[in-house]
Amino acid sequence: MSRRQPAGKHLDRQTFTHGKLVGVCGKIIASPPNRCPLTALELMSILRVQDLHKSYGKGDDRRPVINGVSFELRRGECYGLLGPNGAGKTTTLKLCLGLTAPDSGSITLVGRDIPGQARQARARIGVVPQIDSLDPDFSVEENLIVYGRYFGMKRADIVARLDWLLEFSNLAAKRKAYINELSGGMKRRLTLARALVNDPDIIFMDEPTTGLDPQARHMIWERLKALLAAGKTILLTTHFMDEAERLCDRLAVIDHGRLIAEGAPRELIARHIESQVVEVYGDAAPAWAPKARTLAERVETSGETVFCYTNHAEPLLHDLSTAEGLRYLHRPANLEDLFLKLTGREMRD
């Protein structure tokens, strides 16, 4: 999958060279602080998870949350973790970050064994959590400076990165603003900028665009594409299937603590789903559903909508053209269809 160069007035003149984000006139504006050369293993795989198990509770109440999960992230890719609520996505992130210890299995992150060397690994990662944890007592730039100090960075090194971080997050005009003056989209962009203070090799993102309006979501997407074009690696969890399809080179579907499918989005759709979908709406749709089953390979009913999955839509479309009281939409299969087939349509708490 090809990556576009970063878009924008300044970002389109930035390139990623020898591990450094280089700006106009060749000025280095994001170089890794005090890093050792990457090992051959790190160049191939930035995160490797093997046969991970994790349970919570005691005695008879003990229940598995992660059950034999294995996956690997290649340097420079966006890898998505998809799954219903309670599937184990956030627990997987916590395990990878060393915030909780697995019952068994192994994790290697930027060449470090996790959780034993988690502290050393965290110096080279960034995290965008589900919920913003910005400090309301500080301004935008002060939030970035204080966070950079947590990594042991010198104040002068953080200040040297501020202009780029604020420009990247489109917050230069809000440099002195306090958190309660920012919109939800601005706070999310600041959280993203904060995760980049230490120029991480890999960024963990737990539902980064939840609660944002379409304009803010699209802006975050463009910024993430710019990071990928600059050679960064992203591990993303999301409930937005269009987000995963736009951003992810590869993804895994997790359900009940197990990895049940993995691959590139279009490859997974082709492997698991019929190529075309006809959605039929209206009060008469449920009564029409039995006939649909004679015209399509697979049919699902949800409320007043009948989903017809087929590789040959012509018979369906011909029948619908003469049916009364029915409306329909004919479209290609997408990632949401895959997700619902693999994990079901029932609500999860």
Residue by residue, DSSP assigns 218-269 as HHHHHHHHHHHHTT-EEEEE-S-HHHHHHH-SEEEEEETTEEEEEE-HHHHH
pLDDT at 46 over 50: yes
Q: How many domains is the chain partitioned into structurally?
A: 2
Residue 339 within any structural domain of the chain: no
Helix 335-343 / helix 265-272 crossing angle, nearest 10 deg: 60
How confident is the model over 162-185, as pLDDT tens digits?
Answer: 999 999 999 999 999 999 999 999
How many Cα atoms within 13 Å fall on the side-chain side of residue 274?
A: 17
Q: How high is the pLDDT of residue 266? A: 95
Range of the domain at 61: 11-268
* Cβ pair 210, 239 in contact under 8 A: yes
Are both 36 and 109 inside the same structural domain? yes
Are both 207 and 134 inside the same structural domain? yes
Residue ending a domain, among 268, 287, 312, is 268
How far is it, in rounded angstroms, from Cα 326 to Cα 347? Answer: 27
Are both 246 and 283 inside the same structural domain? no
Residue 3 within any structural domain of the chain: no
Residue 224 within any structural domain of the chain: yes
Residue 235 within any structural domain of the chain: yes
Are both 80 and 141 inside the same structural domain? yes
Residue 63 within any structural domain of the chain: yes
Are both 263 and 318 inside the same structural domain? no
Are both 51 and 131 inside the same structural domain? yes
pTM: 0.84
Kindly report which listed range (16-25, 241-250, 298-307) carries the lowest average pLDDT score. 16-25
Are both 325 and 248 inside the same structural domain? no
pLDDT band, very low/low/confident/very high, at 23 (cuts 50, 70, 90): very low
CB neighbour list of residue 66: distance below 8 Å, 6 or more residues apart: 52, 53, 54, 88, 91, 92, 95, 102, 257
Are both 198 and 304 inside the same structural domain? no
Stretch 253-276: mean pLDDT: 96
How far is it, in rounded angstroms, from Cα 234 to Cα 126? Answer: 9
Are both 118 and 177 inside the same structural domain? yes
Are both 228 and 209 inside the same structural domain? yes
Are both 195 and 281 inside the same structural domain? no
Residue ending a domain, among 238, 268, 298, is 268
Q: How high is the pLDDT of residue 4? A: 38
Which SS3 state, helix, strand or coil, does residue 195 take?
Answer: helix
Classify residue 12 by its DSSP letter.
Answer: G
How confident is the model over 178-235, as pLDDT tens digits?
Answer: 999 999 999 999 999 999 999 999 999 999 998 888 988 998 999 999 999 999 999 9
Are both 21 and 120 inside the same structural domain? yes
Residue 349 within any structural domain of the chain: no
